[in-house]
Structures are given as structure tokens and as C-alpha cells.
Structure 1
Amino acid sequence: MAETRSTSLQARAIGTLWKALAGRRLGTLWRLSRLAGPLVHRFSRREREVTEINLAEVYPARSAAERRRLARESLTHSTATMLELGFAWMGAPERVEASILEVHGRELLDEARAEGRGVIVLAPHFGNWEVLNFWLSGHFPFTAMYEPPKIAELDPVIRRGRERMGASLVPTNPRGVAALLKALKRSEAIGILPDQEPDWGSGVFAPFFGRPAYTATLLPKLVARTEARVVTGVARRIPGRGFEIHFLAADERVCSPDEAESATGVNACVEAAIALDPAQYQWEYKRYRKVVEEQEGVPNHQAFRLY
């Protein structure tokens, strides 16, 4: 009972904070992030260590000092994303729309829809993906998978924020996949998170910055059944001013019927997005948590030793 009350209080506190920050200027939120980010780097051991381990793996040629600087910048951007959630979910729609300073590559979506094709938007954890959701759902019929948060009391707040511009949220199960297929066959847009590690049996190993990472295989199944166009989409933060949305043509391998080849293309798409500004990627996610080792010719699933 005490734990339930504590969780409920935590949910109310978070919801109140988001609401309070919703009306703040982006410049103010960025200044707060610049103050809080170094504290996260210093005192949040888990986030700091995972970020620094990942950066050492993907940028081995960079100096240790440069990687530490990048880790601090990355955690500052992650802090900014958290502080901007109220803005993206509760801020006046005209303010959020005005914060989107430019949209690059929109023609990729328009051309696909003109051809009667659906669009699969690969949206990695880069910049502010909630602003990307806001723009997509405000300009196109848009469907995305949604998994309720661990703090159940926050579910209605998050769901209301993500759906307020017309997005349709579907569960992360076969029923949700069926809804994605239907949306694509209606020549609509759907969103997929390409950099979340799937459960065993729902992915394959494919290179991510040269190291095998367990990657979901949902994409080739959707492409094979719908002939949808695939693009990468991100909302890149322009600190203190707003965001620029980028739609990038997908690596051609994403359309391969071979799951490993398609997953390799997916990871290449994420790498291309990260190249826009590596500090804006969420490096604190344990992307290399799973590994396959061969023992007498039989795959042996084990936790990755880095974490």
C-alpha cells in the first residue's frame, strides 16, 4: 500500500512538473538543461557509465577526453528532452508548430503518398522524438506502437499528449502489428522505433557501428506485405530556438527480404541520423545488451559483458 501511494505521488509530481514546464520558452528549458545536465552526468552513475561505454565502443578512434565531453553533451540533450515533454504534449499547438523551424525531406513522404504507398518512418531516439510525433500526426494520418509506462498513473497523460494531434496509438503485440499493416495499406504513415532491443525471437544480430546488436525484424515483414516507402525521421534540436525535422532516405538494404540484411540497413539508417549530431542521440540505452556466442555450433544467448 505504501509503495502504491509513493508511486501515485511520484506520478502526480511528474505530471505537475510537465504541466508547469509546458508554457516555458524553449530558451528557458535549454538553460535549465545546461544546469541539470552536468548534475545528471556526475550523480546518475548508471546513465553516465552506459553512455561512456557506448561511446567508447562506437567511437574508439576519439580521445578519452573527447568522448567524456560528448557524454556530458549527450546527457544534457537527454535532460532537455525530458524537460521538453510538457511542451510537446501540453504546450499550445501553435507554439509547438512554430518551434519547428524547418522540415527537410518532406517530399519523400509526399511522393510516397502520391504514389498510393504507405510510409514507414524509422524514428530513433535522437533529438526530441515527441516533437517529431507532434508534426507527423498533425500533417499525416499517423499510427505508432505504444507501450504503457512503468508508472501506470502516467499512462493517460502520455497517451493524451501523443494522441492530441490525431495520432493513433496501437499496442506492441500482434493486434498492433495488424493495425500498422492496415494503416500502410490505406497509404498512411506509421512510426517504428528502430533502436529498441526486441525480445528474443523477434530480432536478428546486425552490425551497429561495427558491433553486433540485436535488432528487430518487424520492418521487412511490413515492407514485404505493403511495398511501403521507408524513411528515417528525427527532430534535431536547435538549442534554445526550436527544432529542425529531417526525413532521410532509408538505406536500400531495409527493403531486403533477408531479415539480417534488412536489419543491417535499419542500423545504417540510425547511424545516418546520429551523424547529424552525435550528442543528440540517447546513448544511455543499453543497445549491446544481448550477444550470441557459438558453443559447439549451437547459439548460446547471453547478456553482453559490457553492461
Structure 2
Amino acid sequence: MATSEKHPASLQARAIATLWRTLAGRRLTTLWRLARWTGPLVHRFSHREREVTDINLAQVYPDQNPRDRGALARRSLTHSTATMLELGFAWMAAPSRVEASIVEVHGRELLDEARAEGRGVIVLAPHFGNWEVLNFWLSGHFPFTAMYEPPKIETLDPVIRQGRERMGASLVPTNPRGVAALLKALKRSEAIGILPDQEPSWGSGVFAPFYHRLAYTATLLPKLVARTDARVVTGVAMRLPGRGFAIHFLAADERVYETDEAASAGGVNACVEAAIALDPAQYQWEYKRYRKVIEEQQGVPNHQEYRLY
């Protein structure tokens, strides 16, 4: 029974991997054209993605004209579609092709200066643009460690892991052993990557403002900063449709260095906001950033009116 139950997942994994390999051979201009064709279909037929995007945009841009917010939602889902289509390119295309697609790098001196001073670097990498291209660049230019959670389809794990590790990145589990590995990398003056906009499990975060509304935010960063002398920067790979990508490294909001976890988490969210400001359409707004609400943390019954999603 176990074998037959896994068989459909295995077929699905092979189909997905084959699609990635096929798309890896296409030009970025072709992938962007495909995204522009299919993005409107995602907006029309993917109810969950459209609804969450619309709710999030209404929360963060309440004063924006609803028609303009609708146009932004459509552009955002087109960019999210492009990211999915580009996964094969980032993981499987010839490294020379991926490297050539990165036509601009801004703020690299923030990383170079920190390492010259013997300090590690914590790169906050929001779900903006194509974060897999950012991983490719970082792991090809610096000793780089990042946390990794295996996919739900287990048979895709070796494919994804190989793609992310092929330029030398070290992937560690999302558990205390992984945190220990991050600390060791920072103490070796290396770079590590953290996804700052993933909602943590209860007990692993605090509520902090994100666009003036409280969002449950991980406290891993202040714990790492407190035990190292690391510099914090925000990193994104912004899509330049028809041209490639521009890597941007931004100096972190100074609050990230606060010992108070709530203050530090507020600085983390400010860093995410600064990245989004580069091009709001390239942020993954379909992620339920406000899923946990403060009333739940305080023990108030989870009434329907408290829920956004």
C-alpha cells in the first residue's frame, strides 16, 4: 500500500522536474512572456492567491485607489508566476547563463566591508523578485549558509537541494541544529541567509508592526545578533523584465541590532518594507503575512471578525 500511495507523488515529482529542466533552457524573455500570458489566468482562476493578495494590499495600502490596488494585484501575481517559471533557470541552467542574467549588483560593499572587518553577514532575503537567483549569486561569491525545509513532495527534495547547493551553498535544517550551524558560520565571518517574512510557529516570534499593522514575526535574528558581531543587510534579486536581474543589498534598519526582541522584529519588518519599496509588484503578496492575530496570542476567543483570511 505504501508503495502505491507514493507512486502518484513520484510521478508528479518527475513531471515537475521535467518541466523545470525544459524551462531552464528557455530565455528569460520567453519566460517573462509566458508569465505575462498566464499571470492574468492565475489572477482570474486562483481564488486563494487573488483573495489573499487583495486583502494584504488593502491592509498595507488603505489609502490607495481600489482600481490601482487591483492593477497592482494583477502585476504582483504576474511576477509570482514568473518566479515559478524561473525556478528551473535558477537551479538547472548553466551557471554562466545565470551569472550573465545578473546585470547589476548594488551595495556589495556592505558585505565586503563586514567580512574585511572579520564580521559575519546576515542577509535578510524577503520573498521579493527571484530569491533563488539571490541564493545563486550569494553562494557563488561568498561562503554561504541558509536554512532549508524539504518540500512536501519528498521526491523533489534532491532536485531542489542540488539546485540550491550547486554553487557551494550549505543548507541546514530548520531546527536547533540548523541554528547552531548558522552561529558557527557567522563566527567564521561567513554569510548566512534568513527569510524574514515567514510566519514562525507560536513561541518563536513576537508581534511587530508591518505596514502599521501587527504581524507575528520571527525572533531568530536578534538571537543571532546577540551572540555574534554580525552585520545585517537586506538582499533581493529584482527582476528587470527583458533584461535579467539586479541584485540589491540594503543597509538594515538600525533597530535590528536592539536586544529587545520586539524592537528588533520591528526593524526586520522595516527592512522588508524597504525592499518592497523597490517595486511593490515584485513582492509575494499572496502569502498570509497577517494570519496570526494579536487577539489569539492574548487568549481572546478566535471569533470570525478577527480573521483577515
> TM-score band (shorter)?
over 0.9
CA contact (8 A) 2:296 2:302 kept: no
2:163 equivalent in structure 1: 161
CA contact (8 A) 1:29 1:240 kept: no
**Amino acid across the alignment from 1:204:** V
Summarize the alignment of residues 77-226 of structure 1 with structure 2, pairs less than 5 Å apart.
77-226=79-228
Query: What is the rounded CA distance, in whole Å, between the counterparts of 2:40 and 2:179 in structure 1?
Result: 40
Q: What SS does structure 2 have at the residue aligned with 1:32? A: helix
**Amino acid across the alignment from 1:80:** A
Structure 1 outlier segments of 4+, above 3 Å: 298-304
**Deviation string, structure 1 residues 129-181 (Cα, Å, up to 9, x no partner):** 00000000000000000000011111000000000000000000000000000
2:279 equivalent in structure 1: 277
Query: What is the rounded CA distance, in whole Å, between the counterparts of 2:241 and 2:16 in structure 1?
Result: 23
2:261 equivalent in structure 1: 259
The offset of 1:5, in angstroms, is 2.1
Query: What is the rounded CA distance, in whole Å, between the counterparts of 1:302 and 1:255 in structure 2?
Result: 34
The offset of 1:293, in angstroms, is 1.9
Query: What is the rounded CA distance, in whole Å, between the counterparts of 2:301 and 2:156 in structure 1?
Result: 34
2:13 equivalent in structure 1: 11
* Structure 1 residues 301 and 222: CA distance shift in structure 2, 3 A: farther
Aligned-residue sequence identity (percent) comes to 83
TM-score (norm 2): 0.97
The offset of 1:14, in angstroms, is 0.6
Greater CA drift, 1-10 or 151-160: 1-10
Query: What is the rounded CA distance, in whole Å, between the counterparts of 1:219 and 1:169 in structure 2?
Result: 18
**Deviation string, structure 1 residues 192-244 (Cα, Å, up to 9, x no partner):** 00000000000000000000000000000100100100000000000121000
Q: What SS does structure 1 have at the residue aligned with 2:295? A: strand
Q: What SS does structure 1 have at the residue aligned with 2:294? A: strand
TM-score (norm 1): 0.97
Task: Give 5+ residue unaligned stretches, structure 2.
Answer: none
Query: What is the rounded CA distance, in whole Å, between the counterparts of 1:53 and 1:158 in structure 2?
Result: 31
1:44 equivalent in structure 2: 46
2:28 pairs, out of 26, 34, 48, with 26
Query: What is the rounded CA distance, in whole Å, between the counterparts of 1:235 and 1:155 in structure 2?
Result: 23
